[in-house]
Amino acid sequence: MPSAPRLPWGLALPLFAAFASVPFVLPLTLPLLLRASTASSTSATRQALSLHRLGWLPSRLPRVPSPRPPSAPPPAPIQTSSPSPPLPSPPPPETATAADGETGGSEAERCDVYDGEWVRDEEARPLYAPGTCPYVDEAYACAANGRPDSGYTRWRWAPRHCRLPRFNATDFLARLRGKRLMLVGDSMNRNQFESMLCILREALPDKTRMFETHGYRITKGRGYFVFKFVDYDCTVEFVRSHFLVREGVRFNRLGNSNPILQIDRIDKTAGRWKKADVLVFNTGHWWTHGKTARGNNYYKEGDNLYPHFDSTEAYRRALQTWARWVDKNMDPARSVVFYRGYSSAHFRGGDWDSGGSCHGETEPTFKGAIVGSYPLKMRIAAEVVGGMRFPVRLLNVTRLTNFRKDGHPSVYGKPHGRVSKRKQDCSHWCLPGVPDAWNELIYASLVLEPNPSSWKQR
């Protein structure tokens, strides 16, 4: 009986290599392919993710551990795309974005800390008693000025789907040890600065271990303060800059001076900003009224003084100037930078200079158009921050301030009886009050997010 024909060696070797490569070579090369795909996706979305640095925080809710995988899992299917799709940049502010995809086989629970509500907290709020902090200037000292109700001090911001870490002023100071925290902006940032001083002061057994280094008393007329916390070798500072870009003057043919705003030049105080370890910027309210809103012979770029220029576009270009400065001058390995968003005002029947009122408001509002409103300037800020190389943390307080029509000084910006009811303050905030929550969010960010590599690990 004739023997079966034998397969030539020249053909047997390629066929054997082809069959062997599928079960053995593919598992070896697949991780390399996926790693390259993931790296490409991460690089493409780095700028987009920087927008969410504070908007997305790990959940503090208890988690159920994932079951252990079987000892002999089936072969993994071939993936042709990145395991986690990139986040949109920037997302619509009203829309909650899905949580990040799985990383390393476990799902990272995350939530939007600005999707939440104010809850009454009689035990833990306020963080300091009204009238006890000497650093609240007269304009925000509502209780001392005769405001009879105190309910506005009893509210705490609570995200819907996660828990913020409990505020700890001692731990906050420990994280600032040897560092400079600087707030740069307009009077709204001075409002927040005074809140920061008061909540950190509560951690000091000896209150004299905190002082203003120049001996200055806080007033609206002065634009630079440095407070030293001796036991922690740190400072909390305020630098006034209404627009973050340079204010100036021009002289007409008659020799009269007129103010201008150079939207392509950074503010002259920027030399101080460089030295800070934590920066909190803001600008907004000065863009909405007077010469800034009208834009007539006011905005300047280079040598060009515009006869008329739109204030919203000027705001965008000013923020772009600020963003370029941060990208060029700040080092993410050494500093943390926040941009605090627009804080809502609550005038009824007019504006700040035309009879607008918020007097008599004693509770937050939980419905109505104001709750869901989101100003164009915040969309612009989100867009600019999302396009930066530096990972700025957007402190998006607009939504949480929408609710708080009860938190303004109204007629209590001066001792009772000295404020005209036709010129109430429905923009700034009583202290203790709403700005304390902004500073709690800064603390949460420093606790939960990766901090600069040069900071010592605690």
Known catalytic residues are 187, 425, 428
Q: Which two structure tokens, joined as six digits, stand for 425?
A: 């303050």
Q: Cβ atoms within 10 A of the Cβ of 448, count?
A: 18
Does the bond joining 126 to the residue before it have cis omega, within 30 degrees of 0?
Answer: yes
- Residue written as token pair 């740190």: 234
Q: Cβ atoms within 10 A of the Cβ of 126, count?
A: 21
**Residue closest to 429 by CA, chosen among 121, 128, 136:** 136
Helices 187-201 & 434-448, crossing angle to 10 degrees? 70
Q: What angle do CA 295, 325, 453 make, to 5 degrees?
A: 145
Q: Which two structure tokens, joined as six digits, stand for 108?
A: 């990272």
Q: Which two structure tokens, joined as six digits, stand for 78?
A: 């071939």
Count CA atoms within 13 Å of residue 442 on its CB side: 29
Strands (E), 313-395: 336-340, 393-395
**Residue closest to 199 by CA, chosen among 174, 155, 167:** 167
User: Helix, strand or coil for residue 425?
Assistant: strand
Quote the CA–CA distance of 111 and 88 in Å, as a whole number.
16
Quote the CA–CA distance of 281 and 341 in Å, as a whole number.
9
**Residue closest to 152 by CA, chosen among 137, 142, 167, 139:** 142
Name the pairing type of β-strands 102-103 and 106-107.
antiparallel
Quote the CA–CA distance of 209 and 147 in Å, as a whole number.
31
**Residue closest to 155 by CA, chosen among 119, 191, 200:** 119
